Chain A
Amino acid sequence: MKKLVTDTSWCKGCGICAAFCPREVLKIIEDKVFVEKEENCIRCGQCELRCPDYAIWLEEDKNE
């Protein structure tokens, strides 16, 4: 299964990823994205497509 990855150093806290995530996985805390409920993530990739700053994405899990 793919892994959800964030790079908060690139995140500008716009809130788009959290607002359009169909499963309410994400939250913005102090202007940065935070993965609150990873277990609910369906790996749809909406956050990656919409993030204007490439600060959240799905990647192949190398440990599998």
Chain B
Amino acid sequence: MPAKLIEREMRTENLPHIWCPGCSHGSTMRALCQAIENAGLERKNTIIVSGIGCSSRAVGYLNFDTIHTTHGRALAFATGIKLAKPQLNVIVLTGDGDISAIGGNHLIHACRRNIGITCIVLNNNIYGMTGGQYSPTTPSGDYATTAPYGNIDRDFDIPLLAKSAGATFTARVTAYGINEAIKVMERAIRHKGFSVVDVASICPSYYGRKNKKGDVVKMLQWQRDNSVPVKAAEKMSKEELQGKIITGIFNDEQYPEYTDEYEKIIERAGGR
């Protein structure tokens, strides 16, 4: 018998999961379960949607109504679900490749609409599932299967991108800072409107190996030693912040939520 939380929230018959030893997707999935319980969500009113990737496989283990969609399209499916049944708590669980490469357009428009969806990004700076190709969040200069001489693209800062596009709650946590991750995810779930939590994650098998980051313990220690809370980061220069992970909540605002506004349109058109 596993721990009670795991028994309640996961499909234990599918465990142990397929993720590599030390992959942070496992501890992040546990943290999300804890956040869901802390936020008091009811199973019958909650649906979890993912795309494709190692991260997106989480939905196969979560004991909720879940939907494993196509690569990059989790938010498109989630938008449809939320519009059809606005009373549901809709959580999207996705990877950096899924949400910011192929799914980047869905991301900015979900932000712009401020639709009531919680989007948790398991951001390991790489395409893990397909063998370590660089993603839009692979830092410039880093290595990947498809960047054997170093990545010349600039990397996206997902919370900053989401905030600029109109998301009303954006935050970053780390796999190392798992207690904070639980608290921030709970707030994101409770938030009315579109919320994005970027979880700085570790993929030891590809990102770690390609960039000689050492074992999983070293990768987590690196996160611990290089995280800067947003308040402290405000007082630091661009140079000082080079290579650091800025953590915390970047914005938490109120703005009309999309399905509420849509409901008003239905009323105005005489549909209710």
Residues 8-53 of B contacting A (Cβ, < 8 Å): 10, 15-17, 19-27, 30-31
Whether A52 lies near B26 (C-beta < 8 A) is yes
Whether B2 lies near A15 (C-beta < 8 A) is no
Most buried by B among A19, A48, A51, A52: A52
Measured between alpha carbons, how far is A13 from B178 in the docked complex, in Å?
20
Measured between alpha carbons, how far is A15 from B221 in the docked complex, in Å?
13
Chain A interface mostly helix, strand, loop or mixed?
A: loop
Residues of A in contact with B, size category: 20 to 34
**Known contacts being A10-B16, A57-B2, is A50 close to B21, with CB within 8 Å?**
no
* A42 adjacent to chain B (CB < 8 Å): no
Residues of B in contact with A, size category: 20 to 34
Residues 7-31 of A contacting B (Cβ, < 8 Å): 7, 9-10, 12-16, 19-20
* B157 adjacent to chain A (CB < 8 Å): no
Residues of A within 8 A of B31 (CB): 49
Measured between alpha carbons, how far is A13 from B204 in the docked complex, in Å?
14
Q: Which among B2, B4, B20, B178 is the interface contact of A49 at CB below 8 angstroms?
A: B178
Tell me how far the C-beta of B22 lies from the nearest C-beta in chain A, rounded to whole angstroms: 4
Measured between alpha carbons, how far is A53 from B48 in the docked complex, in Å?
20
* B88 adjacent to chain A (CB < 8 Å): no
Whether A49 lies near B179 (C-beta < 8 A) is yes
Measured between alpha carbons, how far is A19 from B219 in the docked complex, in Å?
12
- Chain B's closest residue to A15 (CB) is B217
Tell me how far the C-beta of A34 lies from the nearest C-beta in chain B, rounded to whole angstroms: 16
Whether A50 lies near B178 (C-beta < 8 A) is yes
Residues of A within 8 A of B26 (CB): 51-54
Measured between alpha carbons, how far is A10 from B24 in the docked complex, in Å?
15
Measured between alpha carbons, how far is A53 from B3 in the docked complex, in Å?
11
Whether A48 lies near B3 (C-beta < 8 A) is yes
Residues of B within 8 A of A13 (CB): 21
Whether A16 lies near B22 (C-beta < 8 A) is yes
Whether B6 lies near A14 (C-beta < 8 A) is no
**Known contacts being A12-B22, A14-B21, is A54 close to B217, with CB within 8 Å?**
no
- Chain A's closest residue to B219 (CB) is A16
* B260 adjacent to chain A (CB < 8 Å): no
Residues of B within 8 A of A49 (CB): 27, 30-31, 178-179
Tell me how far the C-beta of A22 lies from the nearest C-beta in chain B, rounded to whole angstroms: 13
27 contacts between A and B (CB under 8 A): A7-B2, A10-B2, A10-B16, A12-B16, A14-B22, A14-B216, A15-B22, A15-B216, A16-B217, A19-B217, A19-B220, A20-B217, A49-B27, A49-B31, A50-B178, A50-B220, A51-B26, A52-B19, A53-B16, A53-B26, A54-B2, A54-B3, A54-B15, A54-B30, A55-B16, A58-B3, A59-B4
Q: A10-B16, A49-B179, A54-B16 are in contact. List 9 more A-B contacts (CB 8 A).
A: A5-B3, A14-B22, A15-B216, A15-B217, A20-B217, A49-B27, A52-B23, A52-B26, A54-B3
What is B's interface to A at a CB cutoff of 8 Å?
A: 2-4, 6, 10, 15-17, 19-27, 30-31, 178-179, 215-217, 220-221
